[in-house]
Structure 1
Amino acid sequence: MTTTLATAASVLGISRSQAYRLAATDAFPTPLIRAGTRIIVPVAGLLRLLLLETPAPAADDRRLDCGGEASVDATTAPPADYAHHRWRHHAEHQGDDE
């Protein structure tokens, strides 16, 4: 999988013009593929660069969330001041006198 240099710049937090300057001087921090005038960034190299800054998870820790606390989902009750105006069922509608 690959992405554009502009997208890679955004992920890395640098400007697009800075990314092109680094690519032109062969100083971009990940490997690049040049196809004619296009510059393509392999996602694997980008991920490798980003993952160097974070500690590796333990082998038995396969959770996506680190906290382990329950999150808000469909089974969570809405707040007390939540109004169902849009979905409220009205027993009487105007024009329903038939």
Structure 2
Amino acid sequence: SYTSFSGVNLWPGKQIRSHNYHTPEPFRNRVVVLIGSSMSAADLSIEIAEVAREVHFASRSVADETYEKQLRHDNLWLHSMVESASGDGTVVFRFGSAVVAHIILHCTGHRL
């Protein structure tokens, strides 16, 4: 299921569950918000960052807003969890930083 946050149903971009992920190609040149705390979510964020314009990885394990680029990936940022989203495409993180994204990838558990 999708992660629940304010405005999730108003947000106009594409939302994908990680179990539907097969290749990073659909993310090429896109701004992606990836939500999840697992090791596989971290792996996916790195894989997608190879082709995406930007990857914003929102994780429960981030205690403070860093909004920092990650080592060796100048287009990968680590964030706290998503607070809200809006109809203009904006995704807002818990500590107030925001991005306009094309895709939200939900890595919050697999349904078998």
TM score, norm. by length of structure 2: 0.19
Higher relative contact order (CA 8 A, sep 6+): 2
Which one has the bigger helix percentage? Answer: 1
**Structure whose alpha-carbon radius of gyration is higher:** 1
TM score, norm. by length of structure 1: 0.21
